[in-house]
Amino acid sequence: MLNAKKFVSAFLACTIATSVVISTGAGSIPAAIAAATVDTPVVSVPAGRYEQSVTVALSSTTSGADIYYTLDGTMPDETSLKFNGTPIVLKESTNISVIALKDGVWSKPATYGYIIKTTEKPLLKFAAMSDIHVGPGTEAENAKTRARYASNFDVLSSIFPNPDAIVIAGDIINDNGDGKGPDHQFARDVLQEQLARKNWSGMPVQIAIGNHDASVAEVKNYYPAEWFTDQPNGYYEKTIGGYSFSF
């Protein structure tokens, strides 16, 4: 029998001539069976861009906690690699996803993204989000969505402290012709909350409409005018950092 794992939400941080997939925050974690808490593992080397291989050790301030990790974009669990004290050597761009366990109690997970590149610098740095499929739900579900995007933006800022733009590449909501256009309001609020938290409110945000986004009119209605277009077909050209892009 295959031991299937849930993939965490894809969050793509990309540059011209360089890219890395950022995976964070979604998926289920085994339920705690005790009241104590376990601290999330941390890394010995900050996440970010490096021009050489990086050697990373993992630790938790909870004494005696076992640390599990993955390097393939999946949420770690008790079947994942167990950190034994030997540092992890990263020679290519990688996301380290971590979680700790002690006495049946799981920590919150975390993901640390590392870009290993040459000294060549990117012309522009974009963060691209696609197939978000965000929509309002119960109070608990909404809180979970907000927490997931807080984690997403934390990972993004650890790699690109000041990206040149954020591109939202369609399917922001999950409309299938069933009147979910107003869900864009919740999605907009979630995104604007994180932009404000990171002091990125003035950063260019560009939306490319997807087939689950209801209609061009509703995208126009629910997002700031500078995020989208006045053209009725939903397609447009934008100049960012002196370079032209079509959305």
Read off the pLDDT of residues 68-98 as tens digits, 9 standing for 90 and up.
Answer: 999 987 889 999 999 999 999 999 999 999 9
pLDDT at residue 179, as a whole number: 93
Domain boundary among 72, 89, 116: 116
**Domain holding 194: CATH number?**
3.60.21.40
pLDDT exceeds 80 at position 238: yes
One domain for residues 112 and 166: no
One domain for residues 104 and 166: no
pLDDT exceeds 70 at position 107: yes
Count of other CB atoms within 10 angstroms of residue 143 = 11
The answer to the question of residue 22 being in a domain is no
Q: What's the chain's average pLDDT?
A: 84
pLDDT exceeds 90 at position 53: yes
Q: How many domains does the chain have?
A: 2
Alpha carbon distance, N-terminus to C-terminus of the chain: 43
pLDDT exceeds 90 at position 100: yes
pLDDT at residue 93, as a whole number: 92
The answer to the question of residue 10 being in a domain is no
Residue of higher predicted confidence among 177 and 26? 177
pLDDT at residue 244, as a whole number: 87
Strand partners, 116: 50
List pLDDT tens digits, range 4-39: 444 443 343 333 333 333 333 444 445 444 447 999
User: Residues 1-7: contacts with CB within 8 Å, 24+ apart?
Assistant: 3/79, 5/74, 5/75, 5/77, 6/74, 6/75, 7/73, 7/74, 7/75
pLDDT at residue 77, as a whole number: 94
Of the candidates 144, 201, 132, 136, the residue with the CA atom closest to the CA atom of residue 168: 132
Residue 161 CA to residue 86 CA, distance in Å, equals 29
Of the candidates 90, 96, 42, the residue with the CA atom closest to the CA atom of residue 70: 96
Domain containing residue 157: 125-246
pLDDT at residue 24, as a whole number: 39
One domain for residues 141 and 81: no
One domain for residues 53 and 79: yes
pLDDT at residue 90, as a whole number: 96
Quote the distance between the C-alpha of residue 177 and its chain's center.
27
pLDDT at residue 20, as a whole number: 38
pLDDT at residue 59, as a whole number: 97
Residue 165 CA to residue 147 CA, distance in Å, equals 22
pLDDT at residue 155, as a whole number: 85
Domain boundary among 116, 137, 154: 116
One domain for residues 173 and 84: no
One domain for residues 106 and 129: no
Question: Does residue 51 contact residue 85 with C-beta atoms inside 8 Å?
Answer: no
List pLDDT tens digits, range 114-129: 988 877 777 888 888 8
List pLDDT tens digits, range 190-207: 999 999 999 999 899 999
pLDDT at residue 101, as a whole number: 96
What is the Rg, in whole angstroms, of the alpha carbon atoms belonging to the chain?
A: 19
% of residues, the chain, pLDDT over 70: 86
Domain boundary among 75, 99, 116: 116
One domain for residues 103 and 143: no
